[in-house]
Structure formats: C-alpha cells, structure tokens
Structure 1
Amino acid sequence: MSGARRSLRTILTGVLGMSMAVALSAGAADQDRARTFSFTYEVEVPAQPAGTGSVDVFIPLAVTDAHQTILRRDVKASIPGRETIESQYGNTFWHGHADRSDGKPITVVVDYIIQRRVFQQKRLASSGLRAYSPSERKELALSLGPDLRVPIAGPLIDSVRAELPQTDPSPLARARAIYDYVIDNMEYKKVGTGWGNGDTFWACTKRYGNCTDFHALFISLARAEGIPAKFEIGFPIPEDRTSGAIDGYHCWTEFHLPDVGWFPIDASEAWKHKERRDLYFGTQPADRIQFSIGRDLELGDGHTTGPLNYFIYPHVEVAGKRLDNVKRSFRFSEIQS
C-alpha cells in the first residue's frame, strides 16, 4: 500500500472515529441504560367454517441474544402448538396446528418481560483491510449473497454503485458512504402501494419507502461491495412514553467488519432524526425488540405457500392457502428499575 493511501486511510478512519465519538457523547447519555418492559403480542384468527382444514399458525418469538434478555415468555393459545426453529437463520417461532377448524376463532397471546440493552460497536481501531478467509466467507455466506428482492449485481446495482463517492477502501469507510447515500437519496414515506416490501428495485427507482426499503438498498450495496450485511426486524419501543399500543414493526441492519464483528446501523431512523445521523451509525439504542433475522424464510411443516419475505407478523395457512385477514395487536409497558 502506498504512503498516500495509508495516509488517506488514516485520516478517514480518524474522521469516522471522531464522528462516532461525538455521536456517542452527544446521544448516549440518555441511551446508555438498559430498559426493561413487558410486551404483549396478540393474534386472533377469524373463525373458519367448521371442518375446514388444516389450520397452521406461525408466530415469531423473541429470544435472548447479545443485546436483549427474555426474562419471561408465556404463550397461551386456543389450539395446540410448539416452539420450533427455522433452519436457515435459526429464528425461533411458535407453530400452532389444528387438523380441522372447530368453527371458532383461534387466539394466541404471547406475553414477555424483556430487558433490552444499547448496542454500541466501539472496536473501530481494528477495522482494517484484511480480506475474509474462505472459512469466514462460508460462515457469512447468508449475509453476502442476494435475496429475492435484494439483488447484489446487475445494471441497476452497477448504476447506483457508480453514484457512491470515492472513499478509503476499508469496509468501514465504504459502509459509511453507503449509509450516507441511502439517507441522502431516500425519503421516508408511505404513499400508495409498493413500499414496505424491502425491495431494492423499488428503492432505487421510487426513492422512497419505509425501513424495509431503506435497508434493502443498504444491504444490496454493502453486499455488492463484499461487505456482509444482515436484515433484522422487530418492534420499536417508544422513548417518549412508558406504555401503550405499538402500531407496527421496525427493521434495521448490521454489517460485518473483519476482526471487529457486527456493526449496527439504522438508516431510516437516521433519516427521521437528522440530529442522530452519526449516532445511528454504530449504535442501536435500547428502543427495540428483535424478533427475526433474514429474508425469504421457509418455516417447514405446514408452510406451503412459498418463502416469507420477512417474518414479523403472524403467518396463517388454511387448507394450504394463506389467510391475510388475521387480527393482531401489540403493546408494551415500561418496568421501572
């Protein structure tokens, strides 16, 4: 590596490090504590004619990981069911099954007590240019390849990559350039139909959408650059109130750095909260619960209608056909320590 390139790399890494430090000092004061709350995920499958069947109900389950601890999880359902694990990404879910409908609605209520912690990736000093070994690439394969709606090659991806600014070639600098590009070229809005599918083609052509569209674009561009990136989805836990209903899901992304590990970003929240743009590059506040990872999910027995684009809401099949008019509600209550 030339002295000029080493100097550029040192400068840019230093700038990124300083921006992270500023973000952490400015935003972490009110984010640095763990939060504990109850969370209820409630489902009602409308009554089907008696004798109709079979009926299969799939509900994602939050699990303990490095950033959250499930202190309690209680599933109450009006049909038999069991917890199982999806084979590709290891997502945990509840699968309820009835051979035939009894003509009554099916209800499922999952009650949690959860502690969520801030995730800040601070190991930037180690983020160099080392290439992944073959064994590392194999381990990270799911985060390097395309998804059905998240391509990593082709004319569209090439044209967008050509718009990215030139930077230091380190994965950290390239990921920051992609993050800034997504924020600067997308608009968070939900207008008409087509948004909300996590579709890179939609994001590139319409330039608006929700969190799934923001992060589909980020993941496509990161993987195209050889940077592993994964899709994560769950629910937001509001910071401005201590209890109440939650309208719907939220999703985010982590990308991987050699010798560092996973690095969190939240481009859609950064678009909505301009003052937290630097904070959301490297920090996940304790304002969310994660439920599942990945796209194009196959749930196994009873799931016959094709891969799920992503898995956060209940998936129900009746006699081998997807049922969409399933009622769902979500609520939380902060537990003061």
Structure 2
Amino acid sequence: MRLLLFITAILMCSCSHLPERNFEFNYKVSLPANSAQDIKIWIPVPTSNEVQSIGNLSIDTDLDYEIKKEEKHGNTYLYASINGGLAKSTEINMHFTVNRKQIGNVDFEGVNLSNYLGSNRLVPVGGRFDSIIAANAFTSKDMKAVYNFVLNEMHYGKPKASTKTDEYYTRLPDVIKDGVTKDSVVSLYEKSKKYGGEYTFGNGNSDYACDISVGNCTDFHSYFMSLSRSLDVPARFHIGFSIPQATEGNIGGYHCWADFQQNNSTWTPVDISAADIEADNSEFYFGNLNENRVEFTQGRDLKLENYKNGLVNFFIYPLLEEDGKTSNNYSKEFSFKEI
C-alpha cells in the first residue's frame, strides 16, 4: 500500500510543472499587562482551500479562546475574551505549514456571487465608476483593459514624510496628476493620522485611489473591484502575506490581491500592485499568482462575533478592544521558514 502511494505521488509530481513552495509560518501577538476590565481580541486563522493547503496548525497561549467562523465569506478566526484585565504580559503564537503553488484560473465551488457584486463601505459601485467605464468603453468581456487601466493610473506608494529618507516619497514623481503632488499625498496621510478618517493610502478606498492615484495593494485592488462590479462582474478581495525569496526570515506586513469571476465558476486572479512594482511581470499578474504567498482572509466589511466597532474593513492584523474601544495596545510579529 505504501509503495502504491509513493508511486502515485511521483506520478502526480511528474505531471505538474508549476512552481510551488512549502514553508512554516508563525504569527505572534504579544499583549502587555493591562488593567482594562473587558479585553477582547480577534485574530484571523488561515484555512485550506482550492489554492493552498494549511497543515499542522497549532496555537500556543495561556488565554482561553474559541475558533469562530465569519459566515458571509467563510473566514475563520480566533476569539478570546479576558475579563478583569491581564495581570501580566502574555503571547498568542499561531504556527502552521503552507503548501502554495503558482495558480491561474481556478474553479471555486459554493461562492455566493451576490456577495461580490454590490458596494462595500469603501468600495462603491456605479456613479463615477460608471463614468470611467463609459469614457474608456470598458466591457465585461475585456477585463484585461480594466486591469491595464488601473495599472497605468496608479502608482505604488505609501509615503509618510516629505523627506529623502522615505523610500516611497523618493520613488514617486513630483507631480502625480493634475492637482496631485507627492507632497499632497503626504499631507493627506498626516491629516488622516491627526484627525482620523480613511481618505489616505492603505485603507482600500476606491474613491481615494481614483482621486489621488497613489496607494498600496488595498487601494489598487479596491479600484479594480469598483470598476469590475460596476460592469456586473463579481470581484473578490484576498489578503495575506508575501513570502520573500529566502529560506527564512521576518515579514514586515500584509499583501493583498483580487480575482474576478468568468465562465460560471472560474475565477481569474490579478495582482496589480505587484505588477506595478515588478513591471517585467505585468502580463503574468493578469490571470496568474505566484507561489510566494499565503492567504488569510477574503472579503470586505466583515462581521465578527462580539466586535462592537462595526464591520471590519479587511482582516489581517489582530483586532483588540479594551472596555469596548478599539486599541493598538499589542505588538505583532510574522516570520516564515522554508521546509
């Protein structure tokens, strides 16, 4: 029996020439001692699906927790409620293995298309996006034209200071478009941090992306989704992490991408921000995703059990509430190791 399984595995490998990666991933959250009387935390937990295999999942923590499922998009997450505060610091260490292959078009089963045709809070449909579609004669039969439009309109950047030490500020052209400079991009970021608000990069705000043309992966793909859905083409948001081309190391932050539905259950992936950064691969990233990633959640405006601060824009980092108010009173660390 073992010999048969071994031969089958060899035959399967010989028929597949797509690049793949196998790695361990560690997601660590540290909570300091805390006098708040009601502490709640939510952490996304990745699952296996048609494009990745998650195995050997373990969660090491002194906290009592539950694993919950977000019903609309099927995301899984850890939930812990701590009454009476934390007398001492504690950690949550989530560890798992990942097998991820390069993919093209994928058939996903059981997807409710109505979840991916309408507006989200920061991903509106129709209106100005209908005007863009009309001005460029976009059709649902040529989504490559929409992809190219977003790629040509947007600049990847998240500058936080008007200084030469900020790599994103230095990389951007002085004038982005009429009425928009790289200094005005920084100014919008500074205002959002001082006064609150989501009209800056990194929030997946389609209107901001359309107006300013500078952003990170969330903004690129929200813009694409608004146009796609305005064409009555279902489009989804996916978020996780890019895995560096190394054998091990730390990971600085998240990465996201999108896909759109065609031919009934077939979904075509796009990674437009990666295409902007890796210009030589811009053709590849329409219809393909490389193997250097892991997905944690998908969808926008997520409803999490007992979360008091409304729908979650997107979910990749821990969410923490202290006595009912959102808090960033934690530290996070992400790392990987090739296996």
> Same fold by TM-score, threshold 0.5 exceeded?
yes
Choose from 298, 307, 311 the match for 2:311.
307
Name the counterpart of 1:78: 62
Q: For the aligned residues, what is the CA RMSD?
A: 1.8
- Report the Cα offset of residue 172 of structure 1: 4.3
Distance 1:329 1:46 in 2: 14
Structure-2 change in CA distance of 1:237 and 1:172 (3 Å): farther
Name the counterpart of 2:169: none
Say if 1:172 and 1:257, in contact at 8 Å, map to a contact too. Answer: no
Residue aligned with 2:320, SS: strand
- Report the Cα offset of residue 308 of structure 1: 1.1
Name the counterpart of 1:61: 45
Name the counterpart of 2:230: 224
- Report the Cα offset of residue 102 of structure 1: 3.1
Say if 1:59 and 1:95, in contact at 8 Å, map to a contact too. Answer: yes
Name the counterpart of 1:333: 337
Residue aligned with 1:119, SS: coil
- Report the Cα offset of residue 245 of structure 1: 0.5
Name the counterpart of 1:296: 301
Distance 2:71 2:37 in 1: 25
- Report the Cα offset of residue 227 of structure 1: 0.4
> For 1:197-208, what aligned pairs fall within 5 Å after superposition?
197-208=203-214
Say if 1:72 and 1:114, in contact at 8 Å, map to a contact too. Answer: no
The superposition leaves residues 230-265 of structure 1 with CA deviations (integer Å, 9 ceiling, x where unpaired) of: 0000000112x1210100000000100023511101
Structure 2 residues without counterparts, runs of 5 or longer: 1-16, 160-185, 190-199
Distance 1:102 1:202 in 2: 39
2:68 corresponds to 1:95: no
- Report the Cα offset of residue 46 of structure 1: 2.4
- Report the Cα offset of residue 103 of structure 1: 2.3
Q: What one-letter code is carried by the residue in structure 2 that aligns with 1:93?
A: Y
Name the counterpart of 1:143: 116
Q: TM-score, normalised by structure 2?
A: 0.80
- Report the Cα offset of residue 278 of structure 1: 1.1
Distance 1:102 1:217 in 2: 41
Name the counterpart of 1:272: 277
Name the counterpart of 2:97: 113
- Report the Cα offset of residue 325 of structure 1: 3.1
Distance 2:275 2:338 in 1: 24
- Report the Cα offset of residue 101 of structure 1: 1.0
Say if 1:187 and 1:207, in contact at 8 Å, map to a contact too. Answer: yes
Say if 1:83 and 1:93, in contact at 8 Å, map to a contact too. Answer: yes
- Report the Cα offset of residue 323 of structure 1: 0.9
Q: What one-letter code is carried by the residue in structure 1 that aligns with 2:272?
A: A
Name the counterpart of 2:221: 215
Structure-2 change in CA distance of 1:183 and 1:195 (3 Å): same
Name the counterpart of 2:12: none
Distance 2:99 2:202 in 1: 28
The superposition leaves residues 60-114 of structure 1 with CA deviations (integer Å, 9 ceiling, x where unpaired) of: 0010111111121100112100111012111000111112213222310101111
> For 1:127-138, what aligned pairs fall within 5 Å after superposition?
none
Name the counterpart of 2:183: none
Larger mean Cα displacement after TM superposition, 103-112 or 309-318: 103-112
Say if 2:217 and 2:255, in contact at 8 Å, map to a contact too. Answer: yes
Distance 1:200 1:333 in 2: 35
Structure-2 change in CA distance of 1:79 and 1:176 (3 Å): same
Q: TM-score, normalised by structure 1?
A: 0.80
Residue aligned with 1:283, SS: coil
Name the counterpart of 1:157: 129
Name the counterpart of 2:7: none
- Report the Cα offset of residue 187 of structure 1: 0.2
Name the counterpart of 1:130: none
Distance 1:272 1:68 in 2: 24
Q: What one-letter code is carried by the residue in structure 2 that aligns with 1:270?
A: A
Larger mean Cα displacement after TM superposition, 31-40 or 270-279: 31-40
Structure 1 residues without counterparts, runs of 5 or longer: 1-30, 124-135
Distance 2:112 2:41 in 1: 31
Structure-2 change in CA distance of 1:77 and 1:151 (3 Å): same
Larger mean Cα displacement after TM superposition, 95-104 or 178-187: 95-104
Name the counterpart of 1:178: 146
Say if 1:57 and 1:314, in contact at 8 Å, map to a contact too. Answer: yes
> For 1:1-12, what aligned pairs fall within 5 Å after superposition?
none
Name the counterpart of 2:323: 319
Structure-2 change in CA distance of 1:140 and 1:224 (3 Å): same
- Report the Cα offset of residue 117 of structure 1: 1.5
Say if 2:130 and 2:227, in contact at 8 Å, map to a contact too. Answer: no
Q: What one-letter code is carried by the residue in structure 1 that aligns with 2:49?
A: D
